[in-house]
Structure 1
């Protein structure tokens, strides 16, 4: 037997009480799965000694609708920093929250919209406090860590926000400052996120999911106009193209190398694919009432009359009128799977002919509903009045649903962003590109094998996406970190993957216990 392996066997026997065999094999560059000898780790042409991460929620480690200590420790940049440390990477500081509850406070008062995290309640996501009772949120914006921080991920930040001076100044909150950015700026409250990064003279950077929040806000609001998509064209700090180009140019201006990602189709996320379009159960009597002349029967008749008038005045063709009448006709059945009624602003406005003819229709499989609609559909607009059920007697407003035209708007913006990202990455030898769009598409279609686990984009059970339906689990972030390492190996000549210096799926959870504090 080779002398090396005799000594290895001796060490395995002698230290098995305090070290796992996998750890010992790895120390000797042996793949625990195959027994093959692995090459020594080499760093390639990149300098990882001063790594800084910029981005949005994914970079920060946001999951389960909150940011908390454990999620930050399992952020993909922190996972990367552990591998970088093996080839000279320095300390990776993060603006750690004060607890594992999540949520934010200001002068002891909770900030609305920044609540403690979600947990699994047995059937689906539920608020932490519904399981363990009321908690005290201890992360207060009046007492922030001072930095400087290597993780500059800001949940909710759009591309241009990274250049915004004052975006982290508490004096500008809530009108023009982000609470997570406030926790980053320390003694320089008006410094932009990019300025915070450049002040640290990074030798390596990641610029991740830039552009994601630029379309996500529109999607989360159902495309109702309250949160617009950042245009591609425009100047630095206004349009995505110029802003992204400027960010990469600045970060590489002193010779630093880095990795950027493209933007996934966010409508593949379970936040938009979990709620069915047809969740309404009705018996024959209720369906009959809804179809009667005293309910939607009158509406259906009015639609036919209105389009007959429009055809008569040549405002619309008969074929187009017939098609829209079919689309707008509302009909319920004795079934457990009736489609909800929604408002659709893309329909012909008939209120000038008849004020009672709102632009509504029943949903189809082509419509996508935000995850929060699951707790709204079926409730009563007027408590105690069963004739005001939301999604049945009362149409769902625009904010609850993404109709096909809104989905197309998101896709077109995403494609435009990704064209710019690819062009910038391909033209700069100091930049590698991670295909985040392809990763999410694979998760949503076939699933991904990660060590001995299969990840997919299903809510709760998929293992990749957290309980808010948008952000990744710790295991999902570990997989993402490995895709960064693959890109770094390919672009800069390192061998993290080939040498086995990557994150292992089993080391990272898919959910956090309600008891984690």
Structure 2
């Protein structure tokens, strides 16, 4: 219950092959390589962590070397493509040891008989590689759509105020420039743009919350869906961006590139974030009768039964059911969208559980319910379920069992609906902009849906899915891809480029790139 356990059987599944349809069916590898109507002599890639080659929870050099833009550039070199430089990290671990919150990459390690992802210590301080500029891979981990057009996003001083990004600080041409301005200065002949994920992803991966740490204590507040607010300066870090802000920012990038003569390129839409392993690995109902053991009957008698009875009296009996002794049970969660019954439950339940009357019992269960299939338990919550909730009174102090997983641990069905609505709006605008500006379009959302399907996708007999660790496509952070996953993305870009510009760039072989490394 306290960690992600990867069995030997699951590891061996990586070696199995399958007879699924092969995505090389539309490849042009046997045709002479040509540029078609495009000019690949100076290609740049704009985007966020997915563009940079980020994986395993960090940006590190070997991961950058397997970024999808570097793969595309390699194929473009066969059709007149020029140099493609990346702002490589100084080591193969990543992280910044002089900045809080930037650990090194996750690695699988054998701990107490189980294999689990463990973060590495950050390997070096924040460096500056601007002397080697310009760089053609301009992917900036953590960047939202509006960050690409924000002056000062690469300012060292801005790190203290939260207006800058250390990954752009590393290679920005000046403290006042923007990502777009540095891209325009290169006057590229071709570009790729994949941005907008973080405008909704950070909300989702943080369970619809914003966090603040003061004096070593972290507090969480509900993140906001910024519909109707087109001033990003007022957004908190994990808020969902207004669709007009995303569309306007992307249009600003396209207009800026067009102003320097860059009119040909490829743009991708945003995948449904709930199709990645970060949201699909931990089941909503992990509490088995075996796991609960003798506590099951006690929990029903002392907590679940009285709680359901009280909630029924207040018209909310559907929030809780008795634990089953024959099937797996859902975890308890806090759902901030529910009517808060704190006062009512404090009065009704404190005596029945034998807790002191002064205990704010209702604060624990006022918005509690059992999870459903429409909720997403976050990957990181696997280390929380079954542990003791700090400060909670016994016997209601076991996370997910007798104490609700808090808002930051779960993306509820209400929050997931906000996420989907935003992505649909973003994608509608991205498709429209691709058509308006005459650009190649990549339906990245459809490809991620394919990966998340039961059959997955296949290359030369090797099957790839969105299953955590054993699926081969996603790295250990459950959000970003492996080298093989990025190769799958690269091929989608290549196919779209060929289709739009009549080029014949060959696809890459995902099987030739790295996947999850086992100890």
TM-score range, shorter chain: 0.7 to 0.9
Following superposition, the deviation at residue 347 of structure 1 comes to 2.1
Q: Provide the rounded CA distance (Å) in 2 between the counterparts of 1:235 and 1:423.
A: 23
Determine which of 249, 262, 270 is the counterpart of 1:263.
Answer: 270
TM value normalised by structure 1: 0.81
What is the CA-CA distance between 1:336 and the residue it aligns to?
A: 6.8
- Root mean square deviation, CA, Å: 2.5
1:55-94 equivalences under 5 Å are 55-94=47-86
For residue 307 of structure 2, what is the aligned residue in structure 1?
Answer: 299
Partner Cα distance (2:42, 2:283) in 1: 47
Correspondence for 1:212? 197
Matches within 5 A, 1:147-296: 147-174=133-160, 175-186=162-173, 188-208=174-194, 210-224=195-209, 227-229=223-225, 231=227, 234=230, 239-253=245-259, 254-282=261-289, 283=292, 285-292=294-301, 294-296=302-304
The 1-side partners of 2:405 and 2:516 are apart by 32
Distance 1:153 1:510 in 2: 21
Superposed displacement of residue 165, structure 1: 1.2
More deviation, 226-235/385-394: 226-235
* Residue number among 434, 441, 446 corresponding to 1:433 in the alignment: 441
Q: Say which one has the larger Rg.
A: 1
- The 3 A distance-change label for structure 1 pair 278 and 75 is same
2:102–2:122 Cα contact (<8 Å) kept: no
The secondary structure found in structure 1 opposite 2:193 is: strand
Question: What's the CA shift string for 1:210-266, capped at 9, x where partnerless?
Answer: 111111011011113555456487379971121112212222331431110001111
Partners in 1 of 2:516 and 2:67 — Cα distance? 14
Note the C-alpha offset of 1:386: 6.9
- The corresponding residue for 2:385 is 377
Match in the other structure for 2:35: 43
Maintained 8 Å contact 1:76/1:478: yes
Return the alpha-carbon distance in structure 2 between the equivalents of residues 510 and 172 of structure 1. Answer: 36
Extract unaligned runs of 5+ from structure 1.
1-31, 130-134, 308-323
Distance in 1 (alpha carbons) for counterparts of 2:227 and 2:252: 16
How many residues in Structure 1 have an aligned counterpart in Structure 2? 446
Task: Tell me if the contact between 1:95 and 1:151 (Cα under 8 Å) persists in the aligned partners.
Answer: yes
Q: Secondary structure at the match of 2:45?
A: strand
SS in 1 for 2:424: helix
d(CA) in 2 for partners of 1:386 and 1:427?
61
Deviation at 1:352, TM superposition (A): 4.7
Which stretch has the larger CA shift, 346-355 or 48-57? 346-355
Distance in 2 between residues matched to 1:85 and 1:125, nearest whole Å: 39
The one of 89, 105, 110 equivalent to 1:117 is 105
Q: Secondary structure at the match of 1:53?
A: strand
Separation in structure 2 between the aligned mates of residue 381 and residue 335 of structure 1, nearest angstrom: 27
Alignment of 1:405-484 (within 5 A): 405-429=414-438, 431-445=439-453, 446-484=455-493
Say if 1:399 and 1:513 are closer, same or farther in 2 by CA, change over 3 A.
Answer: same
Deviates more, 1:211-220 or 1:235-244: 235-244
Alpha-carbon distance, 1:86 to partner: 1.4
| Contact 2:149–2:252 (Cα < 8 Å) also in 1 | no
Runs of 4+ aligned residues of structure 1 deviating over 6 Å after TM superposition are 235-238, 383-386
